[in-house]
Amino acid sequence: MPLFFGNSRKKQEEEAAAAEKSGKKKKLTPKEKAKAEAEMRANLPTREKVGRKGVFEMTGPLAYTFAVGQIPGGQFIPIDVVLKGHLLYIFELGAGSMPSAKPKGFFQIKRAIVTEIGFLSNPPLPPHTNVFKIEFAKKQMGNRAYFFKCASNQELKRWIADLSWRVEEGERKIAAKFEPGVKGGTQPTGGRSELPIKARKQSDETEAGVGVRAVEAARVLGMTVKYETLPPPDDHDDEDEAEDIERKKKEKAARAKLLADSQNRSKMR
């Protein structure tokens, strides 16, 4: 028996070496496939890191299955999808519809073909609504095409609009859309920037911050927001205020006296 296992292992090593020399890809056994998948999944980023500064570019619940031509290859499995650049991450949905911490896998969708199907009917299989299809040039996760099912027609339009733009656009344009004004990082340096990257400053002129410090302006879709406040009332001394009141009283009395004298003269005439 030990001799048999030794010969078997030696034969596998020879086959692997011959495949490597010929440039052909070695066909993996089910155990080797499971091991490779586990290693790949262990190296994938966590859900909180599949975004730009904690914000997802595009996300939502979907259902998917692989495609055999225009026929679903199996049941639609509920998943949660997050898009970042040209990567489509698939997260499993567990109890309570909570997505898994790490993705089950991902697709590279650059130059993929996105087709809006809508109503998918292949008797005697049950029909499906709000369906779209993504086709790849090479196999990804075992297949070249997948069906995705949305919860509503509005969600279908939302996904089709984003994916149709994303698969044809460059990484730099995608980064500039979701990180406007960011210099470096995911937005490559050099060339003409899509949005101004010059930092703008403003003085905090609110009541709480007058004369304290300069702060960065709040950015809202590329605009600088500044809140205008009413000027503070002028300070008056108590003595000056008393003098003003006394002066106004005297002016009022003088006007009343002039009016009375004028009326008396009119009566005498």
Prior bond to 124 cis, omega within 30? yes
Phi-psi region of 264 (alpha: psi -120 to 50; beta: other; left: phi over 0): alpha
pTM above 0.95, yes or no: no
Is residue 181 within 8 Å of residue 200, measured between CB atoms?
no
How many CB atoms lie under 10 A from the CB of residue 184? 8
Tell the residue number behind the tokens 């007058």, with chain if given: 210
**Following DSSP, what letter does each residue of 135-198 receive, concatenated?**
EEEEEETTEEEEEEE-SSHHHHHHHHHHHHHHTTS-HHHHHHHHSTT--BTTB-SSS--SS---
- Tell me the pLDDT of the chain (269 aa) as tens digits: 444 444 566 666 777 666 666 656 667 777 777 777 677 767 788 888 888 877 899 999 999 999 998 999 999 999 999 999 999 999 998 767 788 888 989 999 999 999 999 999 988 889 999 999 999 999 998 899 999 999 999 999 999 999 999 999 988 888 888 876 655 444 444 444 444 433 334 444 454 544 444 445 555 555 565 666 667 666 656 667 778 888 888 888 888 888 888 777 777 76
Instruction: Work out whether the CA dihedral 117, 119, 123, 124 comes out positive or negative.
Output: positive
Helix, strand, coil share of the chain (percent; to 5): 35, 30, 35
The full set of domains in the chain, from first to last, is 41-167 (2.30.29.30), 199-232 (no CATH)
